[in-house]
Structure 1
Amino acid sequence: MTIKTWAIEDRPREKLILKGKQALSDAELIAILIGSGVVGKSALDVTKAILHSVDNNLNELGKKTLSDLQKFAGIGEARAIIIIAALELGRRRQLSDVRERVRITTSRDAYNVIAPLLIDLQHEEFWMLLLNRNNEVTARHKISSGGTSATVVDMKMIFRPALESLAAAIVVMHNHPSGNLQPSKSDIDLTQKIKAAGASLDITLLDHLIVSERGYYSFADEAML
């Protein structure tokens, strides 16, 4: 059966109009993007196949390239571009919260600010959030970019922007492409080094996060600061 033969309230576009966007599944939302299916398959069938290939994980779908998506029946270059563009807009929407001066009160707040930048990377990067005295994010900076298992961090690169912006506190974070969230000895040593350097400059290290698509590890939550 094609989508046009379904009950009106079950068709993705009509369902959105009648019930709101929250009522739609991920597959239904993507089906709206691609518009139509192929012979023998509705747009919803096509999108369910795509999502099934990534275990219904949108983060994994966001890693797919144009050529990856075009391997599915009914997905040509134009439709693949639409899907990739929509997922990228969703990622950027998460990042746009920084402009509203998000207040960091928990490790989850910090994770939400930076995770969209890091979780899809296949190499390590080290980032920092600058905070004012109200623990509001005033800026974020990439400190370094490395290989698949490490990145070099220079104390001067961390504290120069913090001093220039008169930051009261910082949160640092880096990703583990392997997905392993446990800190290494070098992660622990680096955290203590940053904490000590910050204390001498009256800049508080609020947390150090290790992030991946599986979640995050917080040094503050684990009493490792």
Structure 2
Amino acid sequence: MSPSSLLIRDIPVNERPRERMLKQGPTALSNQEILAILLRTGTKKESALHLAGRLLEQFDDLTLLRSATCEELCKIKGIGMAKAVEIQAVMELARRIYTTRQEKKYVIKSPEDVSNYVMEDMRFLTQEHFITLYLNTKNHVIHRHTVFIGSLNASIVHPREVFKEALRRSAASVICLHNHPSGDPTPSREDIEVTKRLNEAGKVLGIEVLDHVIIGDRTFVSLKEQGHII
């Protein structure tokens, strides 16, 4: 019988996740052990450690777990609504910590900087998110705003929604970006049309559209570099 299938009381004290964390620190623990601490309890027939292992196996380690819904989590035997909500809360807190760290006077000088800023936050999203970054005269990100969630459409991404926040924040320029859930950042006809429309509106308002970056899975495309923003 493997250690992970034992009940916690059957595992030697010095090998239990909480005790190992106290003695060796959190970095010494596996994803399974950390998740077991979060879950606290397993079922009548298995430990929290074994439940954590099944959860990670079901959601491809942490890749899909971060975007799992409560309904999807509750389909796992041993995961009720309370545990599902706690898991979602921890994932959201981790996302916010990452975002907060990135937003501290982050300077954008290239499409690579845009990618580094949002890649880990966006490449796992299962829906398209259209986001605008608002920059000051020194190219510091001063605000990030999700304009809409859903399939990109020129009639939905209205310049008014993008630039009213720029005016409110006194932004000098904006960078638009959205993700392709397929992982392939190749721009569509709609992507190009939206880009040209926003670029023209920015010129009228005196707020430069620096770029429109499409995020894929560890890859990206800059519509500025492709010549769609002049």
TM-score bracket for this pair, using the shorter chain length = 0.7 to 0.9
Asked whether the 8 Å contact 1:131–1:139 carries over to 2, the reply is yes
Say whether residues 1:218 and 2:221 are aligned partners: yes
Asked whether the 8 Å contact 1:125–1:142 carries over to 2, the reply is yes
The offset of 1:30, in angstroms, is 0.8
Q: What secondary structure is seen at the aligned counterpart in 2 of 1:72? A: coil
Structure 1 residues 222 and 32: alpha-carbon distance in aligned structure 2, compared to 1, 3 A threshold: farther
The offset of 1:38, in angstroms, is 2.5
Distance 2:29 2:224 in 1: 35
Q: Quote the residue 2:3 is aligned against.
A: none
The offset of 1:203, in angstroms, is 3.2
Matches within 5 A, 1:186-205: 186-199=190-203, 201-205=205-209
The offset of 1:153, in angstroms, is 1.8
The offset of 1:12, in angstroms, is 1.6
Q: Quote the residue 2:66 is aligned against.
A: 62
Structure 1 residues 107 and 48: alpha-carbon distance in aligned structure 2, compared to 1, 3 A threshold: farther
Q: Quote the residue 1:35 is aligned against.
A: 40
Cα deviation 1:21-53 (Å, max 9, x = unaligned): 222222111100111322442211111111111
Say whether residues 1:52 and 2:60 are aligned partners: no
Distance 2:35 2:16 in 1: 13
Structure 1 residues 190 and 77: alpha-carbon distance in aligned structure 2, compared to 1, 3 A threshold: closer
Identity of aligned residues (%): 34
The offset of 1:131, in angstroms, is 0.4
Distance 1:164 1:132 in 2: 12
Matches within 5 A, 1:165-176: 165-176=169-180
Q: What secondary structure is seen at the aligned counterpart in 2 of 1:100? A: coil
Distance 1:175 1:153 in 2: 14
Q: Return 5+ residue gaps in structure 1 as ranges.
A: none
User: What is the RMSD of the two structures over their aligned residues, measured on CA atoms?
Assistant: 3.1
Asked whether the 8 Å contact 2:115–2:220 carries over to 1, the reply is no
Distance 1:133 1:162 in 2: 13
Asked whether the 8 Å contact 2:186–2:221 carries over to 1, the reply is no
Q: Return 5+ residue gaps in structure 2 as ranges.
A: 1-5
Q: Report the more deviating stretch, 124-133 or 104-113.
A: 104-113
TM-score (norm 1): 0.79
Structure 1 residues 145 and 38: alpha-carbon distance in aligned structure 2, compared to 1, 3 A threshold: closer
